[in-house]
Amino acid sequence: MQLTPDESSSGIRGPVDASVVPRFAGIATFARLPRLDEVDRADVAIAGVPFDSGVSYRPGARFGPAHVREASRLLRPYNPAQDVFPFGAQQVADAGDIVANPFDIAEAVRQVEAGARELAERAGRLVVIGGDHTIALPLLRAVHAQHGPVAVLHFDAHLDTWDTYFGAPMTHGTPFRRASEEGLIDLTASMHVGIRGPLYAKGDLEDDERLGFSIITSEYLEEHGPAAAIDRMRARIGDAPLYISIDIDVLDPAHAPGTGTPEAGGLTSRELLRMIRALSDRRIVGADIVEVAPAYDHAQLTAVAASHVAYELISAMAPRGARPSAG
C-alpha cells in the first residue's frame, strides 16, 4: 500500500508502493490501485469493457482494457500539473471488467448499461476503458438515469453521429446520434473536439449540428491553439453536468497508432492532456477512453497515452481542498 500524505489521515487505500513491490510485479489493476472489492466504497471506479463487435474497420479494441492497465504501472501518486494526489484525495479502485456478449451487440449494450448502473451504486463516478465507441451509448444511458441530460464533451477524429452501418443502429460510428435521439445529452452544451478527415457527405455536418453538437476541429486547434479551444470548450459546457468521452484516435497516429480507424493530422498527447486539465473545475459525472487496439500499437505508445489520459481525468475529478491534506 502506498502511503501518500492524504492516506495517513483519511484511510484511503492507494496504489501498491513501487518502492516496496517493483512496478513490473503483480497482477495489473489500473495504476496498481486496489480492486473495488478490497475497499468499502470508491469515489471513482475504473472499469474495463472488453468489447469490439461494433467496429467498422480494424478490430482489436476488445484487448484495450488489459493493455491500458498494463501500461499504467508507471503512474505515480502526485500529479504536479494539477497539484493533486488523484488517488489520495479520493478513493479510486479498479472494478475489473464489465462482461459484454461479443456475438450480440444489443445484448452487449444492455449488459454494459446494467453493469454501469450496478457500479454506480458502489462508486461515485465511473471511468471506463474500452472497448470500441459503441459502449458510449449504454454508458450515457446509465449516466442519464442518475443525472438527466448531460453535456457530452467528445474528443475524437470522428463525429460518431452517423445513422447506421449495414443497417445496424448500434456501432462505434453511431453512439452519439442514438444518445441525442434518446434525449440523453444536453443539446446546448455538447461538443466534439479534434474532428478531422474525410466524411461520407457534406450533410454529415448538418445532421451533427441538428443532433446538438458544436465542433472544434483539429484544424481550428492548429490555427488558434489550445488556449482558444479551451475557452470555447468551457463556454459551451458552462456548469452542466459533464460526461467526457475520449476516442484515442483523436490523437495523431504518431501519438496513438494502436487504434482501429486512424486519421492523419490529429492532436498531440500534450494538447489532449492540457485540455483535460482545464476541466478540473467542472462537474464531471463520468468518462470513457475507448478504441485502444493493442495489435496495432508499438512500444505501448497508445496505451501509455491512454493511461495518462485516464490519470489526468481522475485528477480532474479529485476534490480540491475538501480534505485537509489533499495535497
Ligand X SMILES: N=C(N)NCCCC(=O)O
Which CB, 77 or 194, lies closer to Zn ion? 194
- Kindly tell me which residue out of 43, 97, 249, 297 binds Zn ion, with binding defined by CB under 5 A: 249
For position 133 contacting Zn ion by CB under 5 A, the verdict is yes
Burial class (CB in 10 A: 0-12, 13-18, 19+), 276: buried
Question: What are residue 123's DSSP bridge partners?
Answer: 42
DSSP string for 169-238: SSSTT-HHHHHHHTT-B-TTTEEEEEE-S--S-THHHHHHHHTTEEEEEHHHHHHHHHHHHHHHHHHHHT
For position 154 contacting Zn ion by CB under 5 A, the verdict is no
C-alpha cell at 319: 476534490
What kind and span of H or E run contains 123? strand 123-130
For position 196 contacting ligand X by CB under 6 A, the verdict is no
Which CB, 18 or 215, lies closer to Zn ion? 215
Cβ 144 to Zn ion shortest distance, Å: 19
For position 172 contacting ligand X by CB under 6 A, the verdict is yes
- Kindly tell me which residue out of 37, 41, 57, 83 binds ligand X, with binding defined by CB under 6 A: 57
40 is in an annotated binding site: no
| Displacement of CA 233 from its chain's centroid (Å) | 17
For position 208 contacting ligand X by CB under 6 A, the verdict is no
For position 73 contacting ligand X by CB under 6 A, the verdict is no
Burial class (CB in 10 A: 0-12, 13-18, 19+), 138: buried
- Report how far residue 292's alpha carbon sits from residue 228's, in angstroms, rounded to the nearest whole number: 28
Q: Answer for the pair 101, 111: CB distance below 8 angstroms, yes or no.
A: yes
- Report how far residue 205's alpha carbon sits from residue 202's, in angstroms, rounded to the nearest whole number: 6
Which CB, 141 or 172, lies closer to ligand X? 172
Query: Which contacts of 249-254 are long-range, i.e. CB under 8 A and separated by 24 or more positions?
Result: 249/156, 249/157, 249/158, 249/291, 250/155, 250/156, 250/157, 250/193, 250/194, 251/302, 251/305
Binding span for Zn ion by CB under 5 A among 56-64, 106-114, 230-238, 239-247: 239-247
Which CB, 87 or 162, lies closer to Zn ion? 162
- How many residues bind Zn ion, per CB under 5 A? 7
- Kindly tell me which residue out of 261, 300, 307, 315 binds ligand X, with binding defined by CB under 6 A: 261
For position 247 contacting Zn ion by CB under 5 A, the verdict is yes
With a CB cutoff of 8 Å and minimum separation 6, the contacts of 299 are none
For position 156 contacting Zn ion by CB under 5 A, the verdict is yes
For position 132 contacting Zn ion by CB under 5 A, the verdict is no
- How many residues bind ligand X, per CB under 6 A? 11
- Kindly tell me which residue out of 62, 69, 125, 133 binds ligand X, with binding defined by CB under 6 A: 133
What is the binding site for ligand X (CB under 6 A)? 56-57, 133, 158, 160, 172-173, 247, 249, 261, 291
Binding residues for Mn(2+): 133, 156, 158, 160, 247, 249
Binding positions for Zn ion, rule: CB under 5 A: 133, 156-158, 160, 247, 249
